[in-house]
Amino acid sequence: MAIRWLKTVNFQFAALSTLVFTVFTLLLSAFIYYTVSAGMERELRDHIISETAQLLGDYYDSGSDELRHDIVERRERAPNSRLKYTLVNDQGVTVFDRIELPPIAGWSYISRTNAPELLLLTTPLEGGFRLGVAASTRGLSEFSGAIKRSTGLMITAVLFFSLAAGAILSSRFLKQVERLRNITEQVGAQSLSARIPLLGVGDDFEQLAVTINKMLERIEKLVADVQNVSVNIAHDMRTPLGRLRQQLDQLEGLELPQEANELLQRAICTLEETMGTFAALMRIAEMESGSTGIEREPVDLSTLIANLHETYSAIAEDNGQQLSCNATSGLVVQGDKALITQMLANLIENAITHNCAGVAISISAMGQAEGVEVVVADDGLGISEALRSEVLKPFFQVDRSRQSRGSGLGLSLAARIAERHGAAMELADNAPGLAVRILFKRT
């Protein structure tokens, strides 16, 4: 697994800078090497040419004996740091330094075992003789080695310090990114009041944090305004709806024709659904705003589920359905009992309302290693995988014609209650039907 800071912009910039500097260093070293080595070789050639010219001058003035005498003197004068001299006659006999001269006159390099190359100048003489004057290229070899070592050390040092600097900068960059990520996760978890802490360093991240904080403040205000409008509308509508319900109740006590009484009962049912919708809207708004706290107390989940089963069994039977219960005894979770009851009731009501007669509905609960899992399942039509995330949104209904009963708020409210309790809610395929799984994690 790659280290995270290897992927940061800071490290990549440091690596790119290091690469550019390394290439520049190599080019500069190559330029210095070829320039200096060319100068050293030119100086070596000039020395050989000068020495050869002096020997040829004596040779042309006094003959081959004088040439041999001059070579002997030069060899005795500087036995350790002298040039190499070779004289070959027409029979191929070599005197002085034994160097195998090439057949063609001019410059050449002579390789030697465990020794630097020789730079050789071969000059033809009268009578088939050939004169060779050579110089060791040890200086060039030592200079080449020094350049390679110094360049290698320089590049190694640059790589080390550049990578170290890149790692330090990247680590600092990742810490800043982690601060932003933590805040965005909190905001994503409905905590709009979260803000990025300012360190007072005044860098680019600090300016970005200031901008994001201002944006979050604006978003929080806008969301609060929208939620307040929704809550106020729902709250203001409850009073006239309540009076309307009282008036309908008064009409219910009167002797009315059968047709009028049926219309009255349908009106009462519609009004109750409307009031339930407004109540759910207010509850969802309170959940999202966090204005309503959660009473953290031990909740006997086994008893609560048994009571819900007893309450809704008759309703399911009236609808031609069967509601079964299978909850392990002694299951306890931490949370708000009223909210958990409402969440499970919404799920059961959703299964009863949106399934036809003959469907089997079950509510079960059992302990697991991760916590306590509650499952409300049915063997009805179910919900396609593509729509499972959509049905958790307020007012979304699988039946787009809205001919089915319900407001489309039951699953949405249940999801928000689960979220406020830190529980994971999942809609899964029951093959056939739908299974809603809620996992209360251990704390």
Other beta carbons less than 10 A from residue 140's beta carbon: 18
Fold of 4-144: Beta-Lactamase (3.30.450)
pLDDT at 223 over 80: no
The pLDDT tens digits for 47-71 are 889 888 888 888 888 887 888 888 8
Question: What pLDDT, on the 0 to 100 scale, is given for residue 401?
Answer: 41
C-alpha 262/C-alpha 24 separation (Å) is 93
Q: Which amino acid belongs to residue 386?
A: A
Please answer whether residues 194 and 176 qualify as being in contact, where contact means their C-beta atoms are separated by less than 8 angstroms: no
pLDDT range class, residue 189, cuts 50, 70, 90: low
Please answer whether residues 435 and 375 qualify as being in contact, where contact means their C-beta atoms are separated by less than 8 angstroms: yes
Q: Does domain 204-289 have CATH number 1.10.287?
A: yes
Strand ranges inside 130-250, DSSP E: 130-136
C-alpha 389/C-alpha 183 separation (Å) is 24
What is the rounded average pLDDT of the residues 197-213? Answer: 76
Give the residue carrying structure tokens 């003789």.
129
Judged by average pLDDT, the poorest of 50-59, 352-361, 368-377, 405-414 is 405-414
Question: What pLDDT, on the 0 to 100 scale, is given for residue 406?
Answer: 54
Domain ranges of the chain: 4-144, 204-289, 297-441
Give CA angle at 188 (184, 299), nearest 5°. Answer: 130
Cα distances (Å, whole numbers) of residue 115 to 76, 118, 267:
22, 9, 113
pLDDT at 43 over 50: yes
User: Both tokens of residue 168?
Assistant: 């330090």
pLDDT at 272 over 80: no
Question: What pLDDT, on the 0 to 100 scale, is given for residue 1?
Answer: 39
* Prediction pTM value: 0.47
Question: What pLDDT, on the 0 to 100 scale, is given for residue 320?
Answer: 92
Fold of 297-441: Heat Shock Protein 90 (3.30.565)
pLDDT at 242 over 80: no
Other beta carbons less than 10 A from residue 365's beta carbon: 24
Question: What pLDDT, on the 0 to 100 scale, is given for residue 376?
Answer: 93
Judged by average pLDDT, the poorest of 40-44, 172-176, 274-278, 305-309 is 274-278
Mean pLDDT of the chain: 79
The pLDDT tens digits for 384-418 are 888 887 777 766 666 544 445 555 667 888 888 88
What is the rounded average pLDDT of the residues 103-109? Answer: 87
Question: What pLDDT, on the 0 to 100 scale, is given for residue 290?
Answer: 56
Sign of CA dihedral 383, 384, 390, 395: negative
Question: What pLDDT, on the 0 to 100 scale, is given for residue 277?
Answer: 64
User: Both tokens of residue 163?
Assistant: 């990578």
Judged by average pLDDT, the poorest of 6-15, 53-62, 209-218, 239-248 is 6-15
